[in-house]
Amino acid sequence: MRTVNALPERPLQAAPVDTGFLESLIGYNARRAALAIIGHVLQRLQPYGLRVVEFSVLTVIAHNPGVTSRQVCAALDILPPNLVGLLRRLEQRGLIEKRAHPGDRRAQGLYVTDAGAHLQAQAQQAVAAVECSDVTHLDAAERATLIALLRKVYQGPAAA
C-alpha cells in the first residue's frame, strides 16, 4: 500500500476515479498511448517548424519521388481537400515542388527539394529518437510485439 501524496492538500480533482471498463478496451488504450507518444513527436518536430501531419506528408514524398496527391491521401488516410493546404504550405516554404506527371496530364508528381530532403532527414532522426525506451517505457522486444499487434488490428490478419 502506497501513500502517494506529492500534491499539497489534495483537492477534489486528485481523488481516484474508477475507469475500469474503459481501461479494458483496446480503443481507449490505443488512443491514450497514441496521444502520449504523438505529444513527444510534436515537441521533437517543433525546432523544424513541422506539425505531425506535415512531417508524415514530407516523409512520404521524400521516400516516394514523383508520388501523386491521391497516393499520399490513400497512404495516410487524408482527404484530398485537406491535403491541398498542407502541400501549399510545404511548397511555399520551398520544401517540396510539383512537376508535370508523365502520361497523365491531370496528375502532378511531388518531389522534395534539396532543402526539403535535408530538413526531412534531420526531422526523421529526431522522430526516431522518440522510440527509445526512455520515452516508450518498452524494450526492443516489447516494442516489436506492440507494433506487430497494432498492425494486426488495423490491417487485419493479412498484416505481415
Partner DNA sequence: TATTGTTATACTCTATAACTATA
Partner DNA sequence: TATAGTTATAGAGTATAACAATA
22 binding DNA? (CB under 7 A): no
* Contact yes or no for 111/57 (Cβ under 8 A): no
Q: Does 16 bind DNA (CB under 7 A)?
A: no
Binding residue count for DNA, defined by CB under 7 A = 27
List the Cα angle 53/141/123 in 5-degree steps: 25
Amino acid letter, 92: Q
Is residue 101 near DNA by the rule CB under 7 A? yes
65-104 b/e (C-beta count within 10 Å ≥ 16 → b): eebbbebbbeeeebeeeebeebbeebeebebbeeeeeeee
Q: Which is nearer to DNA, 2 or 106 (CB)?
A: 106
Q: Which of 104, 125, 133, 147 binds DNA (CB under 7 A)?
A: 104
Residues that bind a second copy (CB under 8 A): 11-15, 17-38, 40-41, 56, 59-60, 63-64, 67-68, 70-77, 104, 107, 124, 127-128, 130-131, 136-138, 142-143, 145-147, 149-154, 156-157, 159
Whether the CB-CB separation of 92 and 115 falls below 8 Å is answered with no
What does the binding site for DNA look like in residue numbers (CB under 7 A)?
Answer: 9, 11-13, 51-53, 68-71, 78-84, 87-88, 98, 101, 104-108
